[in-house]
Amino acid sequence: MSVLLIFLLGILSVTTSFPETHYHEFVVQETPVKRLCKTQNIITVNGQFPGPTIAARNGDSLAIKVTNRVRYNITIHWHGIRQMRTPWADGPEFVTQCPIMPDRTYTYRFKIENQEGTLWWHAHSRWLRATVYGALIIFPKSGSLYPFSAPKIDVPIILGEWWNRNILKVMKQALHTGAAPKVSNAYTVNGQPGDLYKCSAQDTTKISVNPGDTVMLRVINAALNQELFFSVANHKLTVVGSDATYNKPFTTDVIMVGPGQTTNVVLKADQPPAHYYMAARAYQSAQNATFDNTTTTAILHYKTASAATNPVLPRLPAFNDTATVTAFSSQLRSVRALVKVPTQIDENLFFTVGLGLINCNPGPRCQGHNNTRFAASMNNVSFVLPRTVSLMQAYYQNTPGIYTVDFPPSPPRKFDYTGNMSRALWQPGSGTKLYKLKFGSNVQIVLQDTAIVTTEDHPIHLHGYHFFVVGEGFGNFNPATDTSKFNLVDPPVRNTINVPDGGWAVIRFHADNPGVWLFHCHIDSHLTWGLAMAFIVENGEGPLQSVEPPPADLPKC
């Protein structure tokens, strides 16, 4: 992949300095893949796992024709792309489009506007993103430079999860029983589990360097359900960007990346020539929850090292080391010159995020807690997707009866969110409830974890936007004391925020992108259980503040 990125950057470098349109063809197909001693058919793009890396420059446009050659419906989401006025290209199934049915095609067309760094793409239909994903790299405009010394080697590091069975059967079993899904059998780096798993050492991902090289690792967490620690043995990591935005560089031994997030780190090959493991394993904050406690590895290979050298393994934090997560996230600061944090707030929202339980009776015995089914919600509303039309189409065409616009701006009942609470609060309601925002409004959202079932760190992703993380803390958010601690000078900019385990995070954004935008937990089991909602951002005045008309080839339900 490092060779591929250097090649792609070379291609971009010799082309015109004017913005370009890049054309790609994605064929979604079944492909036999052998991992952990077993061959099974998985869903891939163009027969590749991970899928193709897309590279472009800030200001370029993309046209990606997706042809579905499998028996499942599918959509592709371009995670983190703003999609200014083009929500039809965003990709979440039944939110901005109906799925691409078998033997059908759809071309996603969008422009990259004021974004640089690392994003990614993935399936947004059921749990197919377990194997349908790839990197989306945005280089600076021609003639522009990184705000740090350009690395000699530039490589995506895509962290994933692997199951030894059909992922849709894993999903179906969890939904049928009401229990948590079976955990993965392995984690992967660029599709390979690494040396610590059986039948895997021969294909372990390797990155070759010469002493003195600078290496940028574009770390992407594509795992379906797991937050992950990542480290490189004996090497310091300088964090230079996250979610396609630059940050003030800082040095660390370890990073934590939630599902959906990206983090760019630069390391110097300044250690004695040898083989050093890059490794990732779980950060698991939910109490008493089962998880995959294995470790995936890749190798940083010094070309001058002896072939007989055994790789060195980094020291990774304990699986429940929330203190290390907090220490890492608290160092993130945006580049101040790029920051325009909203200070006058028009919409002040408060969303609880967490799990729940649904009674199983009458009916067969369920395998969730105390004969219940697991659920999840925001503000005690478990989100339900439509099945006959997408929300965006229903909004654009004024189709009645598909959704309501009464999503609560604050919890219907206030309680001790991270303490003891009535069991009556454990069962959420359900509905397709949206919340309307006026174009140009300044929005603040307090995201509050709850102790219903268990507290947990939730990676919450907002489609169509990036946002400022102005505050984080533990316990219940207190506006009287916590607001004064907000960082309004250089807060980090993200598209996916880890709401702290048993705590809260506050985000702000300017509603300048009309459309229907999903807001959800990027742990797919939680999304399936209903931990989501959607915003309608209304059109402004004139074509530059309005949604573009739907493309002619937009899939129909």
The whole-number average pLDDT for the span 327-346 is 90
Look at residue 16 in the predicted model and tell me its pLDDT: 55
For tokens 């300088």, name the residue: 238
> Does the pLDDT at position 4 exceed 60?
no
Q: What is the rounded CA–CA span in Å between residue 501 and residue 383?
A: 22
In the sheet that 206-209 helps form, which strands lie side by side, from edge to edge?
A: 206-209, 295-302, 275-283, 227-232, 254-257
> What are residue 44's DSSP bridge partners?
29
Indicate the pLDDT class of residue 6, thresholds 50, 70 and 90: low
| Helix (H) or strand (E) run with residue 528 in it | helix 524-529
pTM listed for this prediction: 0.96
The residues, ordered by sequence, that sit 6+ positions from 121 with a Cβ below 8 Å of its Cβ are 51, 54, 76, 77, 78, 79, 133, 134, 136
Q: Is the pLDDT of residue 10 over 60?
A: no
Average pLDDT taken over every residue of the chain: 95
Cα separation of 136 and 141, whole Å? 15
Chain length of the chain: 557
Give the integer Cα–Cα distance in Å for 216 and 182: 34
Question: Which residues does 390 contact at the CB level (< 8 Å), separation at least 6?
Answer: 94, 95, 96, 97, 98, 557
Average pLDDT (182-189) is: 98
The reported pLDDT for the residue numbered 14 is 44
Is the pLDDT score of 7 beyond 50?
no
Residue 3 has pLDDT above 60, yes or no: no
Name the residue among 329, 353, 338, 340 with its Cα closest to residue 445: 353
Q: What is the pLDDT of residue 1?
A: 53
Stretch 382-405: mean pLDDT, rounded?
A: 97
pLDDT digits (tens, 9 = 90+) for 74-87: 999 999 999 999 99
* pLDDT score for 513: 97
Write down the pLDDT at residue 339.
73
Apex CA 61: angle with CA 56 and CA 64, to 5°? 90
- List strand residue ranges (DSSP E) for 418-502, in order: 429-431, 434-437, 442-449, 458-462, 467-474, 493-494, 496-499
Q: H/E element holding 481?
A: helix 479-482
- pLDDT (tens digit, 9 = 90+) per residue, 36-53? 999 999 999 999 999 999
Q: What is the pLDDT of residues 456-477, one digit of tens each?
A: 999 999 999 999 999 999 999 9
pLDDT digits (tens, 9 = 90+) for 366-390: 888 778 999 999 999 999 999 999 9
Q: If pLDDT is split at 50, 70 and 90, which confidence band does 424 have?
A: confident
56 - beta bridge partners? 138
How much is the CA Rg of the chain, to the nearest whole Å? 22
Quick one: which of 536, 317, 520 has its CA closest to 436? Answer: 536
- Tens-place pLDDT, residues 497-540: 999 999 999 999 999 999 999 999 999 999 999 999 999 999 99
Give 118-154 pLDDT, tens digit per residue: 999 999 999 999 999 999 999 999 999 999 999 999 9
Say if residue 173's pLDDT is above 70. Answer: yes
Q: Are 470 and 334 in contact (CB under 8 A)?
A: no
